[in-house]
Amino acid sequence: MKEKFTIHLPGMPQPNLPEGEWIKTIAKPTHEGLLASCARTEVRGFMEVDAHGLCEDGADIDTKFAFKLRNSDNPVRVQIHEGTTRGEVLFYLQEIAKMLREDWYRLDVVDGKETYGCRPKFRLDKR
């Protein structure tokens, strides 16, 4: 099993895969092509949840409200940066789920510095 997430681009060597496994090769779009594609999408508001690393109190998770061009009505989208390991993804998804279970109300709280929901914060039961 691959441990790191990588995007397979045309011209890259095909790795040895177990029987029945396959890799989807995608073409990297040009800057102009990506802008043209985005120009046809709606501007939508959504919450971004980012895991940046570890600190003394656990995972460093930030949330903020943003407006972006997006052509999907899916309620949740997870974006995994190329080069991220499987272990990192699984750990941070668990930490994000924990934060959403315990501190959902923090998604709407401004911390006084014009940023939203910076973690770690005191949970409601510890104030």
Alpha-carbon distance of 75 to 32, in angstroms, equals 28
Contacts of 37 (CB under 8 A, 6+ apart): 29
pTM higher than 0.85 for the full model?
no
pLDDT at 11 (0 to 100): 77
pLDDT at 87 (0 to 100): 92
Average pLDDT value over all residues in the chain:
76
By the 10 Å C-beta count (0-12 exposed, 13-18 middle, 19+ buried), 119 is classed as buried
